Structure 1
Amino acid sequence: MEHHHNSAKWRQVLAKCLAFFHGNPPAIIGGLLATIILLGALFAPAIATHDPQKRVSRPHQAPSAEYIMGTTRNGRDVFSQVLYGARKSLTVAITAGIIAMSIAVAVGVSSGYFGGKIDEWLNFITNVFLVFPQLPLLIVLAAFLGQVGSLVITVLLGVTSWPWGARVIRAQTMAIRNKEFIISAEVMGESKLRIILVEILPNLVSIVFGGFLGTVIYAMGSEAGLGILGLGDATEVSWGSMLYWAQVSSSLYTGAWWEMLVPALALAFTGGALALINMSIDQVSNPKLKTGPHLKVWKKLQKAANQRRGLA
């Protein structure tokens, strides 16, 4: 019976995900763009036409049939670099997002559910992290450590990006903890860990996923920013290092606009795709934003919830 109850909860989550994309153009567009970019990064070795680290032609060759996105100052294929760069940049951003949201969930749920001294201490730690501006802090830390690799940048981004997510999750957990189903579970003697995992977390999926996407966007931009400043590892192929070398070679001034434009557009399209999905999540999950195409989606979710409760 317990297993059936748990699986039913996660089936409801899956149903919400499917309903989220149904009749939701921004989510569909963002999802398609994100899927194409992820597939390009995943299958970069099969799609790329050249080794991104090797010189294959003369410097700053304009886009052509052979080199569809041109070449860099060092004669490297930009198309191959942007594909392999996607692997590195997205790996950094997604891993940083996982680290940040794992900390945010642990801190936010613990603070919101347990309250008391635990809430006071965790809230204090969160506020301390919120005091420091993230990007300047990252720049100072990266400069202090010297030219750092992607692993160090990932960890730095992950451990400095969680406070806002923790604050939102804490507020939502505090709103949930006094609900009837939580009180009933406590009266029945359920362990606090089980209540958190089975009763609370499924109700935070949209908030956690939205926070994760926001963190990925921020981490992706920050990695590129650190790369442009020369604080990352310029020998690794990433969108940030591509922008760094385009800047060093003064590509815009020499007419080789493609060397700067291609990684910049890759960042813009990826960030835009994730932002569309994130915006759609907020509009679907937030009753105050029930407008336009999202109104139908929200009404379907509301009707399904009422049917499960026997109210319709």
Structure 2
Amino acid sequence: MSKYYNRIRKPLFTNKFILAGIIIILVDFAIGIVGAFWTPYPVSETFGISLPPSSAHILGTDEFGHDVLSVMMASTLPSLIVGISVGALIAIISTLIGLFGGYYGGKISGVIIDILTITALTIPGVILLVIIEAYFRAASSTINITLSYIIVVIGLAITSWAFGAKQIRAQVLSISKRDYIIASRLIGEKSWRIIFNQILPSILPLTVAQLLFGVLYGILSLITAEFWGVLPTNINNLGTMLFFISSNGAYLSNQWWWILGAIIPIMILGAGLGILNIGIDEFIDPRLKEVKPKVIPEKIVIPEEQEIIEVPMLGNYKNRK
């Protein structure tokens, strides 16, 4: 497996889209990490209400007088942590279930996988978040922020792994029938070595795709839950910002700087993940790279027709006997 990673490392990190996507995502993380330790003003400090952007407040202030840039910086990292955690958990669950379900195959394995995936696909995430919200309301005096995030991550992950697991299982079923896998079984290679050293590198692109999907899904689900007021609003994250933007009518009062402060980290992350996905697609299928068009000459020289010379027949064919 190490040979596989050494072979793909150079072409993987020389792809311009992959590098650009990673840099953009790191910019978003840099905003969140800096905001966890330093902000231009304390988040709880208040100034004038709904002040437009100025040299003192680059993104103005909100309806409560808080500096929007400070609130945005403090809210970015928690949202990113939830997104990365949900994405990693979805990728791990879907990959493991797809790997083992596809490798061992059989009708029993197929039935078990189908039951699990159908169960996961039929659990609405919104209803699960409502249940989580009821738990928060009942235990609001004892629950801490860390535990609340853990519950959200687990709740979102267990409703989102099934589709990826079915894709990976279908791919593994095909790979397991190839000659080199059959040969490894015949020589007595251990199953776990075949799965992780030979099959896993082949389905790694699908795992990365599940990770990217899970990150974006986790962040957007957290923001949606906070925006609807399903989760507690005393936690700094981008969803809380949008909740207060909506509940205080920032759209109607034209407080565009407040809205901009909430969506800037989302836009940066979305752009980074989109560009990164393009690069991964190009790495998986090099045919997607731009093909330079062939140079067509401006003028095509057509050779002049040569004069046809008629050669007379020598004698009559009928008389040649």
Which residue identity is paired with 2:10?
A: A
Cα offset, 1:146, TM superposition = 4.5
Task: Confirm or deny that 1:88 pairs with 2:74.
Answer: no
Task: Confirm or deny that 1:78 pairs with 2:68.
Answer: yes
Question: Which residues of 2 match residues 1-312 of structure 1 at below 5 A?
Answer: 6-19=1-14, 21=15, 24=16, 26-46=17-37, 48-52=39-43, 54-116=44-106, 117-134=108-125, 136-146=126-136, 149-286=148-285, 290-293=287-290
How many angstroms apart in 2 are the aligned matches of 1:222 and 1:99?
15
What's the CA shift string for 1:140-164, capped at 9, x where partnerless? 4344434583222111111111111
How many angstroms apart in 2 are the aligned matches of 1:30 and 1:231?
32
**1:150–1:233 CA contact under 8 A, matched in 2:** no
Q: Which has the higher helix share?
A: 1
**1:213–1:274 CA contact under 8 A, matched in 2:** yes
Look up the SS of the partner of 2:230 in the other structure: coil
TM-score (norm 1): 0.83
Q: Which runs of 5+ in 2 are unaligned?
A: 141-147, 293-321
| Change beyond 3 A, Cα 1:211–1:157 | same
What's the CA shift string for 1:27-59, capped at 9, x where partnerless? 34322211211122123245521222x124122
Look up the SS of the partner of 2:272 in the other structure: helix
Which residue identity is paired with 1:222?
A: S
How many angstroms apart in 1 are the aligned matches of 2:124 and 2:154?
17
How many angstroms apart in 2 are the aligned matches of 1:138 and 1:275?
28
**1:150–1:232 CA contact under 8 A, matched in 2:** no
**1:56–1:76 CA contact under 8 A, matched in 2:** yes
Which residue identity is paired with 1:44?
A: G
What's the CA shift string for 1:271-308, capped at 9, x where partnerless? 23212212332343146xx2343x69xxxxxxxxxxxx
- What residue is the counterpart of 1:308 in the other structure? none
Q: Which runs of 5+ in 1 are unaligned?
A: 1-5, 297-312
| Change beyond 3 A, Cα 1:127–1:16 | farther
How many angstroms apart in 1 are the aligned matches of 2:239 and 2:163?
25
| Change beyond 3 A, Cα 1:179–1:157 | same
- What residue is the counterpart of 1:301 in the other structure? none
| Change beyond 3 A, Cα 1:142–1:279 | farther
Cα root mean square deviation, aligned: 2.2
Say which is worse superposed, 198-207 or 27-36, in terms of deviation: 27-36
**2:101–2:113 CA contact under 8 A, matched in 1:** yes
Say which is worse superposed, 149-158 or 218-227, in terms of deviation: 149-158
Cα offset, 1:118, TM superposition = 1.9
- What residue is the counterpart of 1:303 in the other structure? none
Look up the SS of the partner of 1:160 in the other structure: coil
| Change beyond 3 A, Cα 1:283–1:164 | farther
What's the CA shift string for 1:254-276, capped at 9, x where partnerless? 23222222212321221232122
Say which is worse superposed, 123-132 or 136-145, in terms of deviation: 136-145
How many angstroms apart in 2 are the aligned matches of 1:144 and 1:162?
24
How many angstroms apart in 1 are the aligned matches of 2:162 and 2:73?
32
Which residue identity is paired with 2:227?
A: I
Which residue identity is paired with 2:239?
A: G
**1:55–1:74 CA contact under 8 A, matched in 2:** no
Please say which structure displays the higher CA radius of gyration.
2
**1:13–1:202 CA contact under 8 A, matched in 2:** no
How many angstroms apart in 1 are the aligned matches of 2:217 and 2:128?
12
**1:108–1:166 CA contact under 8 A, matched in 2:** yes
Which residue identity is paired with 1:11?
A: N
